[in-house]
């Protein structure tokens, strides 16, 4: 399965932070935001990754991540000219996806919890049956997201984008899994009122075809969408608290790549050596000692 990280957009809601940089590169506690999405892919076993970003910021992504080999993945890059909507990722990524299945993650979404590995396993199984998967999470501010409209038996009827009325408390997160026909379906989409190719329209096609599975994240698992200054701060504080309490980093690419055998101990040691003296390096040195 291929993986796409959508890191485009103008980040207008986070101005002036995003005046001179891409939203997905700003720090979430102790790492650039993009580290967390890449680590989710590594945990899920995805090795072939496409990052879609703006032309302006492409050189910075390349400087930070290069071709991904340091973390045992292969990273390619494509440009999104304008924020034309999330579903445009499948049109931009057409030549990258080729005949494969694809997982899309929004670059400003952070996931943390025991069920991440299960989500990927479950989605792989669904894809074997030609079924797409999405991930939900119970939230209080449902009108900021795509929301699941469920029947009495909790069957998914439709997704409503930023509803005024409360259809359910289940927000649809920015982690999506699709069979290869997603490219063909994305081609058929028409721009919405806000002139974007909507991921919700695409998901509703799969729901109509009875080819969509919704997995709802456990209560103890965390999901952050960093669209506002508040959520960015909340995510940073959450990560800082967990890292301090458990003495374990979240989204530490070197560590996750080693744990998932994407890189070996030799490569890990080389990466650690190259780091300047900092607490991040101390943490990695401790892993070697352990």
Residues 83-102 that bind ligand G1P (CB under 6 A): 86
How far CA 271 is from CA of 69, 248, 274, in Å, comes to 11, 18, 5
Cβ burial of 242 (10 Å; 0-12, 13-18, 19+) is middle
Residue number with CB closer to ligand G1P (68 or 251): 251
CB of 56 to ligand G1P, least distance (A): 20
172 binds ligand G1P (CB under 6 A): yes
Q: Is 11 in the site for ligand G1P (CB under 6 A)?
A: no
Q: Before 133, cis peptide (omega within 30)?
A: no
Among 7, 173, 204, 231, binds ligand G1P (CB under 6 A): 173
CB 257 within 8 A of CB 50: no
Footprint (CB under 6 A) of ligand G1P, residues 17-56: none
Rounded Cα gap, residues 205 and 209, in angstroms: 6
**Per CB under 6 A, which region of 56-64, 172-180, 211-219, 232-240 contacts ligand G1P?**
172-180
174 binds ligand G1P (CB under 6 A): yes
- The answer to whether 201 touches 87, Cβ cutoff 8 Å, is yes
Judged by CB under 6 A, the residue of 176, 227, 251, 257 near ligand G1P is 227
Of 84 and 269, the one with the shorter C-beta distance to ligand G1P is 84
255 binds ligand G1P (CB under 6 A): no
106 binds ligand G1P (CB under 6 A): yes
Least distance in angstroms from the C-beta of 28 to ligand G1P: 14
C-alpha span between 129 and 152 (Å, rounded): 26
Does 68 bind ligand G1P (CB under 6 A)? Our answer is no
Q: For the chain, where are the E strands, in sequence order?
A: 2-7, 27-28, 31-32, 48-53, 74-79, 102-106, 109-112, 132-138, 146-150, 156-161, 170-178, 212-216, 222-225
Distances (CA, A) of 92 to 42, 50, 84, 118: 22, 10, 11, 29
Of 66 and 229, the one with the shorter C-beta distance to ligand G1P is: 229
- Which residues in the 109-168 window bind ligand G1P by CB under 6 A? 109, 145-146, 161
Residues in contact with ligand G1P by CB under 6 A are 86, 106, 109, 145-146, 161, 171-174, 199-200, 225, 227
């Amino acid at each position: 399965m291929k993986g796409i990280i959508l890191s485009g957009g103008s980040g207008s809601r986070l101005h002036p932070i995003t005046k001179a940089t891409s939203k997905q590169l700003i720090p979430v506690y102790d790492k650039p935001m993009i580290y967390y999405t890449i680590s989710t892919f590594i945990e899920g076993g995805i090795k072939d990754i496409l990052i879609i970003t703006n032309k302006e910021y492409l050189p910075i992504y390349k400087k930070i991540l290069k071709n991904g080999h340091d973390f045992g993945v292969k990273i390619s890059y494509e440009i999104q000219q304008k924020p034309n909507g999330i579903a445009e990722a499948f049109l931009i990524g057409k030549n990258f996806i080729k005949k494969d299945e694809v997982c899309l993650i929004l670059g400003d979404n952070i996931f943390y919890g025991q069920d991440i590995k299960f989500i990927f396993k479950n989605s792989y199984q669904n894809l074997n049956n030609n079924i797409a998967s999405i991930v939900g999470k119970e939230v209080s501010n449902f009108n900021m997201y795509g929301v699941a409209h469920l029947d009495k038996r909790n069957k998914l009827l439709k997704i409503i984008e930023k509803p005024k009325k409360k259809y359910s408390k289940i927000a649809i997160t920015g982690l999506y899994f699709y069979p290869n026909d997603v490219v063909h379906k994305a081609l058929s989409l028409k721009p919405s009122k806000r002139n974007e190719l909507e991921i919700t329209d695409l998901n509703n096609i799969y729901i109509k075809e009875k080819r969509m599975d919704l997995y709802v994240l456990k209560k103890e698992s965390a999901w952050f969408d960093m669209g506002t200054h508040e959520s960015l701060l909340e995510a940073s504080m959450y990560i800082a608290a967990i890292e301090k309490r458990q003495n374990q980093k979240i989204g530490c690419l070197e560590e996750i790549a080693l744990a998932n055998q994407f890189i070996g101990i030799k490569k890990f040691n080389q990466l650690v050596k190259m780091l300047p003296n900092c607490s991040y390096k101390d943490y990695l040195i401790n892993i070697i000692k352990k």
